[in-house]
C-alpha cells in the first residue's frame, strides 16, 4: 500500500489544497485474503485500461478497501481548476463500468484540518435542495477531532449557511467526510458501481453470442464474476443476410466497456445447418444445431484460450431449453457450459439488458440462424443416442473443426 504523499506545506498554503479526485470503494476484493495483492493489481490494471483513451494522466493510490484516483495535469493548470474538475468527472464516469468497483465517489481531497473539511463540505453542499445527513469517518484515530464532532460541526454549518434540514434516516443527500492518514476526502453521495470481481480474475470464457437478448446479459454476468470473455457468433450465411453479424458486432462493442480488447469470432453456419437437416435430424434439428455450435465453440476455445463456454440458456424459456435438452447439450462437449441466466425470468433478463444498454440492439430485426430450417415441432426430450447417430452420419467433430478454422475475427472495441 502506498500512501499519498503527505501534504507538507505551510499552514496558509495547506488550507488551500483542494484537489478533485475519485474514490473507488471496493467490495469482495477486500475479502480475498492472500491473493488480495494479485487482485488489486488486476483491478488497477483494468482501471488504467478503462481510462486509457481519455488522454488524461492518472495517479492511483491503493488504500484499505479504497482506491484514490486523481488526474495529473499540465504544470501550468491549477489543481482545482475547471480542467481538473472535468478530468475527474470523466474518470469517474469510466469507473462506473469497471467490474470490482462497488461505489464511485467524486471527491475533493483537502488538507488534514477540521476547518478545511468543514469549508469544503459546505461548499459542496451549497445550492443542493432537500434534507441532508453527514457521515464522518476517521481512518486515522489520532486526528484530534472525533467523527461525531466533525459531523456536528459540518451539519450545523450547512444548516446555518443554506437552511437545509437535517434528516439522518432518509436524507436527500449525504455529505461524507473521510479523515485519512495524511489528508481528508469530502464528497456527496457517490454512485453505485458494477460490483463483482475484476475481469480476468476468474480466467477466460467463450460466449456463444446470438443477436438476441439473453446472451449479452449472460456475458455481462460472467464478466462481473471476473471472467474475461471472447465471443462467438454463428450466422445463417450464406442462407441469410449479414444482419445478425452486425448485431453481434454492435453488442460486443457495447459490452467492451466492461472489459477492453474483446474479440468476436464469426462463423457462417447456414451450410452446416443444411447438412444436419439432410442427415435426417427432423424434430431434433434445433438441439442438433446447438450441439454442433457447442462442439465448434470447444474447438475455438483453444484459440481464445478459454476454459469454459457461456450461453444465455434459461430453464424452460424455449423448447430447446428443457432440462432434458440441456443435458443433451452438456453431453456434446467436455468443457463446462456456464449458464448464468438459468434461473432468471425473461422480464428480469430484459430489465438487465436495458440497464446495460444492450436491449435496443438486441431488439433490432434480423434473421437468426436458429429460425432457419426450424422443424414444425421441436423435440423437448432429445435423446443423446439419437443425436449421436445424426452426428455420426456427417462426422460432426470434423465438421466442428472445419467450422472453427473458418472463423473470422473482429475487434469491435
Beta-bridge partners for 225: 197
**Contact with ligand ATP (CB under 6 A): which of 103, 106, 233, 291?**
233
Q: From the CB of 201, what's the least distance to ligand ATP, in Å?
A: 23
Phi-psi region of 188 (alpha: psi -120 to 50; beta: other; left: phi over 0): beta
Does 317 participate in binding ligand ATP (rule CB under 6 A)?
A: yes
DSSP per-residue letters across 335-401: S-EE-TTTT--HHHHHHHHHHTT-HHHHTS----GGGTT--SS--SS--HHHHHHHHHHTTHHHHHH
Helix (H) or strand (E) holding 288, with range, is helix 285-303
**Contact with ligand ATP (CB under 6 A): which of 46, 202, 215, 285?**
215
**Contact with ligand ATP (CB under 6 A): which of 183, 313, 379, 391?**
313
Does 214 participate in binding ligand ATP (rule CB under 6 A)?
A: yes
Q: From the CB of 202, what's the least distance to ligand ATP, in Å?
A: 19
Task: Report the residue number whose CB is nearest to ligand ATP.
Answer: 212
* # residues contacting ligand ATP (CB under 6 A): 20
DSSP per-residue letters across 205-252: EEEE--SSSHHHHHHHHHHHBT-EEEEEEEE-TTSS-SHHHHHHHHHH
Residues 6+ apart with CB under 8 A from 171: 130, 131, 132, 133
Per-residue burial over 311-335, b = 16 or more CB atoms within 10 Å of its CB, e = otherwise = bbbbeebebbbbeebbebbbebbeb
Closer to ligand ATP by CB, 187 or 220: give it. Answer: 220
Closer to ligand ATP by CB, 115 or 408: give it. Answer: 408
Does 262 participate in binding Mg ion (rule CB under 5 A)?
A: no
Residues 363-392 that bind ligand ATP (CB under 6 A): 369-370
Helix H segments across 15-146? 36-51, 82-95, 114-125
Q: From the CB of 350, what's the least distance to ligand ATP, in Å?
A: 10
Q: From the CB of 371, what's the least distance to Mg ion, in Å?
A: 9
Closer to ligand ATP by CB, 104 or 255: give it. Answer: 255
Q: From the CB of 54, what's the least distance to ligand ATP, in Å?
A: 32
* # residues contacting Mg ion (CB under 5 A): 2
Q: From the CB of 290, what's the least distance to Mg ion, in Å?
A: 10
Which of ligand ATP, Mg ion, none binds 14 (CB below 5-8 Å, type-dependent)?
none
Phi-psi region of 200 (alpha: psi -120 to 50; beta: other; left: phi over 0): left
Helix (H) or strand (E) holding 302, with range, is helix 285-303
Separation of alpha carbons 239 and 234, rounded Å: 12
Separation of alpha carbons 207 and 194, rounded Å: 20
From residue 255 to residue 294, what is the string marking binding to ligand ATP with x (rule CB under 6 A)?
A: --------------------------------------x-
Closer to ligand ATP by CB, 113 or 289: give it. Answer: 289
Residues that bind ligand ATP (CB under 6 A): 208-210, 212-215, 232-234, 293, 311-313, 317-318, 320-321, 369-370
Residues that bind Mg ion (CB under 5 A): 210, 212
Amino acid at each position: 500500500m502506498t500512501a499519498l504523499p503527505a501534504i507538507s506545506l505551510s499552514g496558509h498554503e495547506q488550507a488551500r489544497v483542494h484537489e478533485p479526485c475519485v474514490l473507488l470503494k471496493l467490495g469482495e476484493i477486500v475479502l480475498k485474503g492472500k491473493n488480495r495483492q494479485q487482485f488489486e493489481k488486476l483491478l488497477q490494471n483494468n482501471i488504467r485500461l478503462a481510462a486509457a483513451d481519455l488522454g488524461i494522466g492518472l495517479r492511483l493510490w491503493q488504500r484499505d478497501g479504497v482506491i484514490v484516483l486523481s488526474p495529473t495535469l499540465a504544470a501550468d493548470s491549477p489543481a482545482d481548476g475547471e480542467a481538473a474538475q472535468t478530468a475527474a468527472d470523466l474518470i469517474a464516469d469510466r469507473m462506473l463500468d469497471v467490474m470490482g468497483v462497488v461505489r464511485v465517489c467524486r471527491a475533493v481531497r483537502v488538507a488534514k484540518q477540521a476547518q478545511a473539511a468543514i469549508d469544503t463540505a459546505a461548499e459542496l453542499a451549497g445550492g443542493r435542495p432537500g434534507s441532508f445527513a453527514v457521515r464522518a469517518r476517521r481512518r486515522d484515530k489520532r486526528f484530534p477531532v472525533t467523527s461525531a464532532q466533525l459531523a456536528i460541526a459540518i451539519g450545523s454549518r450547512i444548516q446555518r449557511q443554506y437552511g437545509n434540514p437535517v434528516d439522518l434516516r432518509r436524507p436527500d443527500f449525504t455529505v461524507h467526510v473521510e479523515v485519512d492518514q495524511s489528508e481528508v476526502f469530502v464528497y456527496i453521495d457517490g454512485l453505485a458501481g458494477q460490483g463483482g470481481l475484476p475481469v480476468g480474475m476468474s480466467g477466460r470464457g467463450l460466449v456463444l453470442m446470438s443477436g438476441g437478448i439473453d446472451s449479452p446479459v449472460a456475458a455481462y454476468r460472467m464478466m462481473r464474476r471476473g471472467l474475461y470473455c471472447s465471443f462467438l457468433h454463428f450466422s445463417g450465411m450464406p442462407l441469410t443476410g449479414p444482419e445478425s453479424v452486425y448485431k453481434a458486432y454492435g453488442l460486443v462493442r457495447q459490452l467492451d466497456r466492461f472489459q477492453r480488447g474483446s474479440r468476436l469470432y464469426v462463423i457462417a453456419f447456414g451450410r452446416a445447418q443444411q447438412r444436419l437437416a439432410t442427415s435426417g435430424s427432423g424434430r431434433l434439428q434445433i438441439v442438433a444445431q446447438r450441439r454442433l455450435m457447442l462442439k465448434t465453440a470447444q474447438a475455438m476455445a483453444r484459440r481464445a484460450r478459454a476454459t469454459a463456454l457461456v450461453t444465455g440458456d434459461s430453464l424452460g424459456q424455449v423448447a430447446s431449453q428443457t432440462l432434458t435438452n440441456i443435458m443433451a447439450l452438456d453431453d456434446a462437449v467436455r468443457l463446462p457450459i456456464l449458464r448464468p441466466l438459468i434461473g432468471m425470468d425473461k422480464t428480469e433478463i430484459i430489465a438487465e439488458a436495458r440497464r446495460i444498454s444492450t436491449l435496443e440492439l438486441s431488439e433490432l430485426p434480423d434473421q437468426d440462424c436458429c429460425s432457419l430450417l426450424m422443424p414444425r415441432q421441436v423435440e423437448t426430450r432429445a435423446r443423446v443416442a439419437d443425436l449421436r447417430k445424426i452426428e455420426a452420419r456427417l462426422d460432426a467433430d470434423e465438421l466442428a473443426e472445419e467450422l472453427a478454422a473458418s472463423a473470422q475475427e473482429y475487434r469491435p472495441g
